[in-house]
Amino acid sequence: MNRLTGSLAVIAGLLGLGLWLWLQDTGWRWDLPDDLPPPQVPADNPMHWAKVELGRWLFYDTRLSGNKTMSCASCHIQALAFTDGKPRSIGSTGEVHPRSSMSLVNVAYASRLDWANPLLDRLEDQALTPLLGDNPVEMGLGGHEDRVTELLREERYSQLVTRAFPNDADPHSLLNAVRAIASFVRTITSFDSPYDRYLAGEAGAISDSAVRGMELFFSERLECFHCHGGFNFTDSTTHVNTRIERVGYHNTGLYNLDGNGAYPSDNTGLFDMTGERRDMGRFKAPTLRNIAVTAPYMHDGSVATLDDVIAHYQRGGRRLDDGPYAGDGRLSPFKSEFVTGFELSDDERADLVAFLESLTDESLLNAPDLANPFAQ
């Protein structure tokens, strides 16, 4: 064997070894449409199948709540696109949360988390609020943090912990539990709705009515897409190729308590975080993917149906005639310039609803790898 063939053999061997190692231990591969960039993942918590699987068990484990009555999945139910169907969520001790449970669908692509928290851009940080927060109490794990260590040492979890955090001297930590849950939640992706199949060229995937509704949705007359734009139908979207990060918060004229744009004091949106008057009532535009299964709507669940949501935007703000929240949101000085109202016939409204229903991804609602492992 001459020197050249020898070298080639070595190179080929190294390439083969590299390929073998890559196949063995990439740890994770995203299952996404070919043209979609993967989401950003924090450098200190890379994706790994064992972490995702551990996170799935923890997501469904009621022992992560103080009184062992609820898990993450109690407020994020797969069949409801990881919402809970309630106007406002109820914590483990019965406390009613001011806000409605947000869908976790495609949350890996969210540039900011929660309804209106500009500080939170990593699921690893966000998870601490539902787990440990005391105002309101959600899962109420505060004071029971040691239980997480015991849990991760159990046989079911300890093998996954070892695979997920092989170089960690103290792997049975709340920090790692949170990392695992965040990794699992990043896998809750939805890009296989009838609308996606229609875009991919399957002409009959959505009805003619839905096609007309799609045209209305993307029209300047209705302006829906200004806030609910892009592949994830929200303007707060990011991915690995994002160069300029966008975050949008909008006052949609739901409330105007005092004629000066005030929202109910327990739900002032971005204002609660910044203290800036102009931020009153500004909330993130949630993704519209699977929106048909996530009623009731808005940050406080105060709008019952998609029809009612469209009626609200058609009017350009909501007027409440009685009760503590009476006022005309249309006249709010803080309202978004895109919420100006529009004309819409009954047929057109039905078309728009048909389009929104075409964003429901049955494969997400039934995916076995997102389902409760305790029940499998």
Partner 1 sequence: MPARNILALCLAALCLSCSRWDLGLEIPFVATWNGEPLTCDSADPALTDLRFYVSNPQLVTAEGKARDIGFTVEMPWQNDVVALVDLEDGKGACQNGTAELATQVVGVTRAGEYNTLRFTVGVPFRLNHSNPLTASPPLDDPDMHWHWRSGYKFLSAGVRTASDGFWIHVGSTGCEGTVGNITGCRFPNRIEVELKGFVPGESQVAVDLAKLTSGVDLSDGMATDCSSGPAEEACDAPFRAFGIDFATGRQDGEQSVFSLR
| Binding residues for partner 1 (CB under 8 A) | 114, 117-122, 125, 128-129, 132-135, 142-143, 145, 173-175, 178, 265, 268, 271-276
Token pair recorded at residue 357: 């229903």
Question: 132, 133, 124: which is closest to 148 by C-alpha?
Answer: 132
Token pair recorded at residue 120: 């939170």
Between CA 111 and CA 108 the distance in angstroms is: 8
Q: Minimum CB separation from partner 1 for residue 135, in Å?
A: 6
Token pair recorded at residue 310: 């469209």
Closest to partner 1 by CB, 186 vs 312, is 186
Given a contact cutoff of 8 angstroms between Cβ atoms, the answer to whether 46 and 27 are in contact is: yes
CB 83: neighbour CB atoms within 10 A?
25
* Angle, alpha carbons 29-30-35 (nearest 5°): 125
Given a contact cutoff of 8 angstroms between Cβ atoms, the answer to whether 357 and 58 are in contact is: no
Between CA 271 and CA 375 the distance in angstroms is: 42
Closest to partner 1 by CB, 114 vs 300, is 114
**What are phi and psi for residue 362, nearest 5 degrees?**
-60, -30
Q: Minimum CB separation from partner 1 for residue 178, in Å?
A: 7
Given a contact cutoff of 8 angstroms between Cβ atoms, the answer to whether 105 and 364 are in contact is: yes
Closest to partner 1 by CB, 158 vs 173, is 173
Binning the chain into helix, strand and coil, the percentages to the nearest 5 are 40, 5, 55
Q: Minimum CB separation from partner 1 for residue 94, in Å?
A: 15
Closest to partner 1 by CB, 67 vs 363, is 67
Question: 253, 300, 274, 280: which is closest to 118 by C-alpha?
Answer: 274
Closest to partner 1 by CB, 5 vs 135, is 135
Closest to partner 1 by CB, 134 vs 208, is 134
Q: Minimum CB separation from partner 1 for residue 146, in Å?
A: 12
Q: Minimum CB separation from partner 1 for residue 99, in Å?
A: 11
**What are phi and psi for residue 282, nearest 5 degrees?**
-90, 125
Q: Minimum CB separation from partner 1 for residue 376, in Å?
A: 30
Token pair recorded at residue 108: 């890996």
Closest to partner 1 by CB, 84 vs 121, is 121
Q: Minimum CB separation from partner 1 for residue 10, in Å?
A: 44
Q: Minimum CB separation from partner 1 for residue 244, in Å?
A: 15
Q: Minimum CB separation from partner 1 for residue 128, in Å?
A: 4
Token pair recorded at residue 218: 């993307």
Alpha carbons within 13 A on the beta-carbon side of 102? 23
* Angle, alpha carbons 219-220-225 (nearest 5°): 65
Closest to partner 1 by CB, 175 vs 344, is 175
Closest to partner 1 by CB, 176 vs 232, is 176
Between CA 356 and CA 347 the distance in angstroms is: 14
